[in-house]
Amino acid sequence: MLSRIPVTAALMLQYPMASSMHKIVSILFLIFVTTCVSPSQQDSTTAADSLLLKQIEQQMQPAVQSAQPGAQPRSGISTNPNISAIGDFQSSYHSMHDRHFDFSFNEAELSFQSVVDPYARADFFLSLAKDPSTGKYEADVEEAYLTTLELPAHLQLKAGKFRMALGRMNPVHPHALPFIDLPNAYVNYFGDEGLNDEGLSLSWLVPNPLDFYQELTVEATTGPVNSPSFVRSSSNKYFFLSHLKNFWDLTQNATLELGLSGMVGPNASSSSTTMGAFDLTYKWKPLQYNTYQSLVWQSEAFFSKASDPLVDDVNSWGMYSFLTYQVEKRWFLTGRFDYSNQPTSASLVERAYSATLGWYATEFQKIELEGKMTSSNFQDEYYQAMLRWVFVIGSHGAHSY
């Protein structure tokens, strides 16, 4: 019976309603009892008492905290948006321009991202970009969309202005790419801004019984504004896109992704253009040395059929392929090849070779240097050199894998 008295005294001290005199008497009684108990008895009961006391203290802790004045329960979800600002400074050399060297603060991007409630989240990306023709900075909404979080049957709906689900490159913001300029085929067919439009996007996580990930996305928008292949029609013609993503874990160190895309929309010839595309991405990142070594091989190809009521259909295509190898912890080397026709002519051919060296100080800062040579059958060969310094402040979310 005496062996349990220390626990009893300790329990009396834990209750916040005990008076000061009660605590003093309990402490004196505890000292007296522990002095009288023999060492053998203390040794046999100390371990059990300590364990019991620890368990009781853990159980009583929430009750003690809630009894404190001014204690406020905290919510697990914060609706305050994550805010970040991204700066993109560039310097360039172009052998064919009258002004060979140039400097520019290319873009400032502001992002606001947060959950709206348990059923949706919102993402806003505002861009302050320099207009090459005027030299002035203009504000624009790069993306602004709402995404559902609780739809049944593995469905997710997106509404607003967003970068469309074409392949691997289009959904990514340019500052996150491992090279400075965009591939020639991508620019020739979709423009400098890519497919970024207003509408709806519905994705479905396919319940695949096989051992790989599969997602189907269908999108309907009003039509791109600045695209060489498509136009925004004033009649009841809209732009439609579908993308099927297939993803495999090859090993613990490697993954493979294959994507298939199809799209159709009005063109400048008062008719329509139909395009098909595929993307292939292989990633290798060893578990043991993932901070110091990695490799990415990514390729995309675009096939276009542009209809014109006055002439024959134009069948053309373009592609790019790049390989990025992580040389050291912060150093990345990228080599890229581009091949492209024009949406309106299959006889025009353009080829380009480029190499980019990137130094990634942290996830918030990187510096890249790129050299590029372009040749074609419709203009002289020319050379470019580009420098980019990207920096981020605030809470910057991770990019898609």
**pLDDT for residue 10:** 43
CA 83 to chain centre: 15
| DSSP letter string, 121-133 | EEEEEEEEEE-TT
pLDDT tens-digit profile of 179-225? 999 999 999 999 999 999 999 999 999 998 888 999 999 999 999 98
**pLDDT for residue 381:** 96
Tell me the domains of the chain and their CATH numbers. 2-66 (no CATH), 82-394 (2.40.160.10)
- CA angle in degrees (0–180, nearest 5) for 100-102-105: 160
**pLDDT for residue 211:** 84
Weakly modelled stretches of the chain, pLDDT under 50? 1-25, 27-46, 62-76
Cβ–Cβ under 8 Å, residues 382 and 95: yes
**pLDDT for residue 119:** 95
Q: Which amino acid is at 96?
A: M
**pLDDT for residue 395:** 82
What are the residues whose beta carbons fall under 8 Å from the beta carbon of 365, sequence distance 6 or more? 389, 390, 391, 392
Cβ–Cβ under 8 Å, residues 217 and 243: yes
**pLDDT for residue 58:** 58
